[in-house]
Amino acid sequence: MAVDGSPMDERHFRTALGRFVTGVTVITTRTAEGRLEGLTANSFSAVSLDPPLVLWSLRQSSTLMTTFQDANHFAVNVLGTWQFALSEHFAKRMPNKFENIVHAPGLGGCPLLFGALATFECSKEANMTSGDHVVFFGRVERASYRDGEPLIFSAGRYGTHAFLE
């Protein structure tokens, strides 16, 4: 329900969710045929430390739904502020998203983006459909990170955050 007691519509809900600041990631995978795929997502979260599990979600109507449902592995590339253009790039539909993108093969052949702030190489643990999304759970097999400022997203806009010491 909205604050005034009226039913909540999708726009109202999205606006309220926009008050929560998230990081920006590019989720990648490699199909059984060897095609590389990736998309920008801010629905990433840690689930468990023991075992090391993470999750992210994808709208059921996504053109990449079958690709990620069929994949045994995926990688989460956490973007730094210097990678705003990568976020925009992977948010668009195009035939070969990895053309001219510097990357290296990770677990299961999933692309790891050069310069990412952190990467989580995952074997798929489970999928769960809820509402209009599918939640993908991954067991983190390898993780790496570097120092730097994360790219963040809130209220429909990108931003940065200066860390206090």
Residue 164: predicted pLDDT: 39
Per residue in 103-126, pLDDT (tens digit) is: 999 999 999 999 999 999 999 999
pLDDT below 50 — which residues of the chain?
1, 163-165
Residue 70: predicted pLDDT: 96
Residue 102: predicted pLDDT: 97
Q: Are 136 and 71 in contact (CB under 8 A)?
A: no
Neighbours of 44 (CB within 10 A): 19
Could you tell me the domains of the chain?
Answer: 21-153 (2.30.110.10)
Residue 79: predicted pLDDT: 97
Question: Among residues 119, 125, 50, 48, which one has the least CA distance to residue 83?
Answer: 119
**Eight-class DSSP state of 97:** T
The residue type found at 50 is D
The CA-based angle 105-158-115, given to 5 degrees, is 25
Residue 17: predicted pLDDT: 77
